[in-house]
């Protein structure tokens, strides 16, 4: 366990995370086991990573009623468009999540604007996305360490935006996700927390000026429709959400 002050602990983890991103060598999670690390510290680490590696291309949010609401930035450098290709080291487990995303197309209305929910909806487009999940830690990291690691986001693939999405289902949806020859999802799926638009609003409420705040052009993703399966081989990945269309990623391997 690291024996240091809280500010030193946060600075140490920022430096370690940045080195892991530069070198590809993971941080040993055991070095932070038992450290007095808080949610506030995790968000401070996120901000430090963004200051060094930004700008931000979007945010992810977890808005489940039975768990703390959390958020994390997604670096613009990690955002790709469909059809996308990503090459990673051989054998590295890569998590694949099909999600509903929202792109901010215009400045959002003020908090006291009349009919605000309707006006927010008019400012955003919906789109299918694939989140790539990668950890910068070696070993079992605590939930707060994962939060500090941008909630283990490793990339985001964007499908085509749909402007007129308001009449589409945003909770219980029909969707499919194929990884190679394996169908991971085919049929009914549920957005975590119950509703993708509500999750967007939750993120907008909590983000404030964290990592620069939510701005035009960024994408908010709202939770996995298929859990968190990991892939360790090269694979062609194709997702589809009824009403929003397709999104795809070819996952290549080095070595």
Average pLDDT over residues 164-175: 98
Domain assignment present for residue 20? The answer is no
**9 domain-assigned:** no
The domain that contains 207 carries what CATH number?
3.90.850.10
Given a cut of 60, whether residue 4 has pLDDT beyond it is no
What's the Cα-to-Cα distance from 112 to each of 105, 115, 116, 130, 207, rounded to whole Å?
20, 9, 7, 34, 17
Residue 143 lies in a domain: yes
Mean pLDDT of the chain: 95
Confidence at residue 2, expressed as pLDDT on a 0 to 100 scale:
42
| 127-153 pLDDT per residue, tens | 999 999 999 999 889 999 999 999 999
Residue 1's pLDDT is 39
Q: What is the reported pLDDT for 66?
A: 86
Q: By the 8 A CB rule, do 188 and 172 touch?
A: yes
Predicted pLDDT at 217: 98
Asked whether the beta carbons of 124 and 102 are under 8 A apart, the reply is: yes
Q: What is the pLDDT of residue 240?
A: 98
Q: What is the mean pLDDT of residues 32-45?
A: 88
Say how many CA atoms lie within 13 Å of 166 toward its Cβ: 9
Band (244; pLDDT cuts 50, 70, 90): very high
Q: How confident is the model at residue 255 (pLDDT cuts 50, 70, 90)?
A: confident
- Identify the weakest region by mean pLDDT among 17-21, 37-41, 213-217: 37-41
d(CA 7, CA 26): 22
Name residue 252's beta-bridge partners: 87
**Prediction pTM value:** 0.95
Other CB atoms within 10 Å distance of the CB of residue 205: 12
Evaluate whether residue 34 is within a structural domain: no
- Integer-rounded Cα Rg, in Å, for the chain is 18
Does residue 50 surpass a pLDDT of 80? yes
Q: Is residue 8 part of a domain?
A: no
Asked if residue 169 has pLDDT above 60, the reply is yes
Q: For residue 218, give its domain range.
A: 55-254
Nearest to 103 by CA among 84, 80, 121: 121
- Confidence label for 88 from pLDDT (cuts 50, 70 and 90): very high
**Number of domain units in the chain:** 1
Cis upstream peptide for 55 (omega within 30°)? yes
pLDDT of residue 5: 60
Closest by CA position to 37, among listed 144, 136, 150: 144
* For range 225-231, the mean pLDDT: 97
* Tokens read off for 49: 């990573």
Does the residue 105 lie in any domain? yes
Give the whole-number percent of the chain exceeding pLDDT 90.
90
Answer whether residue 41 is part of any domain. Answer: no
pLDDT interval class at 3 (50, 70, 90)? very low
In a domain, 186, yes or no: yes
């Amino acid at each position: 366990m690291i024996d240091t002050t809280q500010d030193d602990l946060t600075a140490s983890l920022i430096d370690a995370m940045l080195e892991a991103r530069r070198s590809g060598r993971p941080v040993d999670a055991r070095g932070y086991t038992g450290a007095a690390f808080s949610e506030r510290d995790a968000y401070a680490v996120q901000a430090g990573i963004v200051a060094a590696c930004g700008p931000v291309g979007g945010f992810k949010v977890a808005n489940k009623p039975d768990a703390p609401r959390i958020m994390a930035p997604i670096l613009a450098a990690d955002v790709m468009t469909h059809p996308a290709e990503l090459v990673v080291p051989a054998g590295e487990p890569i998590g694949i999540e099909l999600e509903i995303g929202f792109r901010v197309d215009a400045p959002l209305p003020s908090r006291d604007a009349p009919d605000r929910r309707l006006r927010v909806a008019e400012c955003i487009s919906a789109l299918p996305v694939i989140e790539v999940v990668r950890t910068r830690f070696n070993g079992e990291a605590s939930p707060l360490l994962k939060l500090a690691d941008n909630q283990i986001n490793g990339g985001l693939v964007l499908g085509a935006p749909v402007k007129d999405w308001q009449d589409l289902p945003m909770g219980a949806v029909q969707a499919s996700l194929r990884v190679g020859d394996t169908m991971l999802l085919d049929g009914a799926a549920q957005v975590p927390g119950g509703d993708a638009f509500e999750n967007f609003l939750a993120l907008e409420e909590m983000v404030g000026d964290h990592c620069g705040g939510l701005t035009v052009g960024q994408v908010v993703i709202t939770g996995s429709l298929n859990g968190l399966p990991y892939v360790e081989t090269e694979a062609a990945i194709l997702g589809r959400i009824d009403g929003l269309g397709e999104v795809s990623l070819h996952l290549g391997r080095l070595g």
